Amino acid sequence: QVQLVQSGAEVKKPGASVKVSCQTSGYSFTGYYIYWVRQAPGQGLEWMGRINPNGGTDYAQNFQGRVTMTRDTSISTAYMELSRLRSDDTAVYYCARGCDCSSNYLDPWGQGTLVTVSS
């Protein structure tokens, strides 16, 4: 079945960068978008961006200049790197595949990666 398995929790200092991986299986990796969404403590879900089947990217304006989404098709894995971390970047980061239904809906999702930014 379709699975997205994310890398483990990270603790980073302010100003550092973090790179979260999303290893996929059970489908043709190059046939679907991968989306990244985060949820800070007590906050709602926030869309960060997406990477398309050709490797092109769309980023939310809030993250422009700080986020980079890449992929390695040889191992069916997507990556999200966030730089110049701040304390308010502390959140659970999710990857998700575009659904088989309509574009820009997300299904399924990875299990989430907790990133803690603290000095």
- Is 111 a residue that touches another protein (CB under 8 A)? yes
- Count Cβ atoms within 10 A of the Cβ of residue 46 and give its class: 0-12 exposed, 13-18 middle, 19 or more buried: middle
Nearest distance, CB of residue 1 and another protein, angstroms: 11
CB 108 within 8 A of CB 4: yes
Under DSSP, is residue 69 helix (H, G, I), strand (E, B) or coil?
strand
CA 38 to chain centre: 8
- Is 103 a residue that touches another protein (CB under 8 A)? yes
Of 46, 68, 70, 81, the residue at the interface with another protein (CB under 8 A) is 46
CA–CA separation, 18 vs 15, rounded Å?
A: 10
CB atoms under 10 Å from CB of 110, counted, come to 24
Binding mask 50-69 for another protein (x = CB under 8 A): --------x-xx--------
Of 7, 27, 47, 53, the residue at the interface with another protein (CB under 8 A) is 47
| For another protein, the closer CB: 54 or 103 | 103
Q: Residue numbers of the site for another protein (CB under 8 A)?
A: 35, 37, 44-47, 58, 60-61, 94, 96, 99-112
